[in-house]
Amino acid sequence: RDLQQGYCDAAIVATCNQTFDPASIAKMVATVSPSQNGKPFTEGSDGHTYGEAVVSMLLAKTKGLFTIENVVTKQCSVMLPEGMPDTDAMIEAMRDTIGTLPVKDIGYVELHGTGTQVGDMTEIEAVAKVYDAVFLGCSKGSYGNVFEANTLLEILKVYYIIKNSIV
């Protein structure tokens, strides 16, 4: 907001995920892929792999580099009361995020990628109901689940995809 309102010309945004607490590590082990090889969106997906990351970016007021036209934050539970993913909640969140932007103008969607059969299929079904033909990506297959650092890591990944005209 300070950049948007002109209070500053640059800001550093940073996050990290490092776990030093043995109790936290023990909790994570219960959801980790038995094969220790996270494979989101594949038939062999059996959970996630754990990763650690330190991610930072410099945001600066500069013309012509990269523009974010509209930012919508929507918090919702995408889980039904039974603990199963809710496709309708995901569809609503996606539609609210794109707002009035024509769906045909979206060529890439970065997905969460739970690494589970149920979670991944729910995401694919929601994307198929909202978007036309798009490229899909998921960082977790490359980096593991870096928890608190996932969002910033995925934003940087998408930035480089756009900057380098990969999609």
In Å, the largest CA–CA distance within the chain is 50
pLDDT of residue 128: 92
Residue 59 is given by DSSP the state E
Residue 25 near residue 41, CB atoms below 8 Å: no
Backbone phi, psi, residue 14, to 5°: -145, 155
Tens-place pLDDT, residues 14-41? 888 877 776 776 666 666 777 777 778 8
Q: CB of 122 within 8 A of CB of 87? A: yes
Report the length, in residues, of the chain.
167
- Classify the phi-psi angles of 115: left when phi > 0, otherwise alpha if psi is within -120 to 50, otherwise beta: left
One pLDDT digit (tens) per residue for the chain, 167 residues: 777 777 888 888 888 887 777 677 666 666 677 777 777 888 877 877 777 888 888 888 776 554 554 444 444 445 555 566 678 888 888 888 887 888 888 888 888 887 777 888 888 999 999 988 889 888 887 787 888 888 888 888 888 888 888 87
